[in-house]
Amino acid sequence: MVEAMEIDPPKGTSETWTEKYRPKTLNDVAHQEEVVTMLKGALTGKDLPHLLFYGPPGTGKTSAALAFCHELYPKNVFKDRVLELNASDERGISVVRNKISFFSKRAINQSENRLLNVKIVILDEVDAMTRDAQSAMRRVIEDCSKTTRFILICNYVSRLIAPIVSRCAKFRFKSLPAEVQIDRLRTICNSENTPLSEEDLKIVMKTSEGDLRRAVCTLQSLAPVLKNGDEKAKNSFLHPTNDSEIVKEIVSLLPSAKVPQVFEIVKRTAKSCSGVTFLRKVFDEFLEDDLINDDNIAIMGKLVAKCEKRILDGCDLQNNLLDFLLTLRSTFIN
C-alpha cells in the first residue's frame, strides 16, 4: 500500500484548529510537567528509555511524542529517523516482524551529536494492536535498544500485555484541569479573533470533560457562528436544550410517577437523547440531589454499569432506559 503524502495546506485555508494549534514544541504541551521535564532532559543528553504514554483522549500524548521528535532531529534527517505507525496502518504480526524490525535494525550514519545516533519508533494506539503482534514486539524492543527507542501511546494501559509495559518507562497523561484548558482556549480565541465571554468558555470546557481536543473542536465550530454575530444560534449551540431539560423533568417526576407515566417518558426520550451519556447524566443528577438513599446507591451504580454494557453491546436503548428508570423508581417506593 502506498502511503499517501501529507500535503501541506495552502496557507490560511482549511486546516482544522485541532491541527493548527497542536503543540509544536515541548514547551507548548500543557500541564504534563513530568513528561516534559523528562523529554527535555533527553534533549540535553540524558538517557532516554523506551516510553509508554497513556491517558484519556485529548491530553497531548501524540502531540508530546511528535513535538519531541521534531525538536530532537533537524528536518533533513527526520524522515530517516522516525517511524510513525498508527492503527490506520496495517499492524498485524507480519508488520512487526518486517517493517518495525527492519527499521530498527537499519544502520544510520553516525553523527557527531550522540543524540542523533538513535532512531525513534512511535507506535500510536497500541491498545488496538493484537496480542500476537504485541508479543512479537517484545523481542524487537530489546534486541534493538542500542539503536532504537520506542514511544508507545495508548489510552488504556491495561490492554497491553505485561511484558511490554515492563520494558518501558510509564507516563500517565493527566486530564487537563479547568484553568489550563480555559487558558489555552482563550489564547486560541484571541489569535483567531473570535471573542468569547468567560462563561461561554467555561461551558465549552465543561462539555468537553477534560478533553482539550474536543474543546478546540467545539470552539472551531462555534467560530463561524460568532463571526455572524448570531446570539440565538450561539446560545442554542452552547445550551443544547433537549438533554438537560429531560433529565430535570425525570428527576422531578420519577419519584411519584405511575408506571404508564414512566412508559410515556421513555417513549419520548429514547428517540431524542444520546444514549449512554444520557443514562449517566440522569444518575448523576439523582446523586447530586441526594435523592437516592445510601443503601440504594450501590444497587443503582451496578445497574448503570449493567445498562451501559448492554447498550454498548448493541442492545435496544428503549428497553434499557425503561429497565433503569423502573428499577430506580422502585427504590423510591420502598
Q: Which of residues 297-326 bind another protein (CB under 8 A)?
A: 307-320, 322-323, 326
Residues in the chain: 334
Supply 177's cell numbers. Answer: 484541569
Indicate the residue among 118 and 180 with the shorter CB distance to another protein. 180
Span 50-109, contacts to another protein by CB under 8 A: 56-58, 62, 86-90, 92, 94
Indicate the residue among 122 and 144 with the shorter CB distance to another protein. 122
Span 122-151, contacts to another protein by CB under 8 A: 124-125, 128
Contacts made by residues 259-263, CB under 8 angstroms, sequence distance 24+: 259/326, 262/322, 262/325, 262/326, 262/329, 263/322
Give 31's Cβ-side CA count (13 Å radius): 21
Contacts of 8 (CB under 8 A, 6+ apart): none
How many CB atoms are located within 10 Å of the residue 149 CB? 19
Q: How far is the CB of 14 from another protein (least distance, A)?
A: 5
Sole binder of another protein in the list 60, 64, 213, 304 (CB under 8 A): 213
Span 270-289, contacts to another protein by CB under 8 A: 271-277
Q: How many residues bind another protein (CB under 8 A)?
A: 83
The stretch near another protein (CB under 8 A) out of 132-140, 168-176, 219-227, 282-290 is 219-227
Supply 9's cell numbers. Answer: 495546506
> What does the angle CA 47 – CA 51 – CA 54 come to, to the nearest 5 degrees?
145
Q: How far is the CB of 11 from another protein (least distance, A)?
A: 11
Span 147-166, contacts to another protein by CB under 8 A: 155
Q: How far is the CB of 33 from another protein (least distance, A)?
A: 23
Indicate the residue among 48 and 55 with the shorter CB distance to another protein. 55
Span 237-266, contacts to another protein by CB under 8 A: 237, 240, 242, 258-260, 263
Output phi, psi for 259, to 5 deg.
Answer: -55, -50
Does residue 334 touch another protein according to CB under 8 A? no
Q: Could you give the CA distance from residue 99 to residue 124 in angstroms, rounded to a whole number?
A: 15
**Residue 96 near residue 137 (C-beta atoms within 8 A):** yes
The stretch near another protein (CB under 8 A) out of 16-24, 30-38, 196-204, 247-255 is 16-24
> What does the angle CA 280 – CA 176 – CA 123 come to, to the nearest 5 degrees?
95
